[in-house]
Amino acid sequence: MPVVDNAIYVDGRRAKVPETLDRTFEELRSCVGGFCWIGLLRPSEKEIQAVAEEFGLHGLAVEDTVTAHQRPKLERYGDVLFVVLRPARYVDRDEVVDIGEVHLFVGPEFVITVRHAEEPDLGAVRHRLEADPELLDHGPYAVLYAVLDKVVDDYAPVLDGLQDDIDEIEVQVFGGDPGVSKRIYTLTREVIEFQRAVEPLDGLFVELRERLKERASESDLELRRALRDVVDHATRVMERIEAFRTLLTNILTVNAALVGQRQNDEMARMTQAGYEQSEQVKRISSWAAILFAPTLIASVYGMNFDVMPELHWTLGYPFAVLLMVLLGVGLYTAFKRRGWL
């Protein structure tokens, strides 16, 4: 049996530490005013069924515990509460929110916590409660409160990690990093997953407050006050998550606008470069045409054929030179008027 810890508490103090669960069941029957807290880590279906039979746990709740992957919720089966919580931790190296799962069965004389992963460490919660017998004397609901408090408090480092990454993304966006869009989408997905783990807590707290009101015990007054503090923390967590989603949406919009602006600037630059290149081509073509005219005349008269017009003419050479000059000037004037030169 994967039992992490197993103890019976009386008057807020650890009274007995049975060696086996069978022994716990026996001693709990003879213990007046006490309750047991059994912590299980990765139990098999058979092991969960054994505990369920002893404490009369509802089959639907046991089925949810076996299959896991539940959303946060609180369900009542007679005088037993079945609570699902989704603790979280932020893995900064991979920029992902690692969502865990904790199940609690809270009855009049017992608390059973079931974890399917190492995190969160409920041993710290147990030590905290054992150091405060006055709080632990409230019984199983004190354990439920302490686990809730631990889960909600552990959301703070997650929020800080997300905030740091959002700050880095803002720098990347205005720095023109081409890979920032993928990072925004990835981080937005992690924020949404985190929100899904936290958002249902609001309804869970409502159900729990109603349950505590039904008990109408004066001794639970401090417990209800402590629970309100946890509710306040959870509310602030939700507000920050909503702010993160809004901020990431705005960042994505700004990034799209900046990318569009950079693309427009690039197109304008390319257009300007194309225009300047076209002007250069015009100038080169104009000078090439101007130089081509005298070259053509010179090449024709340089063929040295006997039968050619004006070949033996006395003014033939000045005429050829003059023709070259006139054609060159004429072409230059024409190109100049068109703005090619």
Domain ranges of the chain: 3-261, 281-337
User: Residue 308 — very low, low, confident or very high, per pLDDT cuts 50/70/90?
Assistant: low
Q: Which amino acid makes up residue 183? A: R
Res 218 pLDDT > 60: no
pLDDT on residue 150: 93
Backbone φ and ψ of 100, nearest 5°: -100, -165
- Cα-Cα-Cα-Cα dihedral sign, residues 246, 249, 253, 258: positive
Res 304 pLDDT > 70: no
Encode pLDDT of 243-295 as tens digits: 999 999 998 888 888 777 777 777 878 877 777 787 777 777 777 777 777 77
- DSSP state letters, 49-94: HHHHHHHT--HHHHHHHHH----SEEEEETTEEEEEE--EEEETTT
- Kind plus residue range of the DSSP H or E element containing 97: strand 96-99
- Work out the average pLDDT over 117-135: 86
253 burial level (CB within 10 Å; 0-12, 13-18, 19+): exposed
Higher-pLDDT residue of 140, 224: 140
- Work out the average pLDDT over 104-128: 88
- Pick one of 3.90.1150.10, 3.10.450.50, 3.30.460.20, 2.70.98.10 as the CATH number of 3-261: 3.30.460.20
Backbone φ and ψ of 114, nearest 5°: -120, 125
Q: Are 176 and 262 in contact (CB under 8 A)?
A: yes
- DSSP state letters, 174-206: HHT-TTHHHHHHHHHHHHHHHHHHHTTHHHHHH
CA distance 129 to 135: 7
Res 312 pLDDT > 70: no
Q: Which amino acid makes up residue 150? A: K
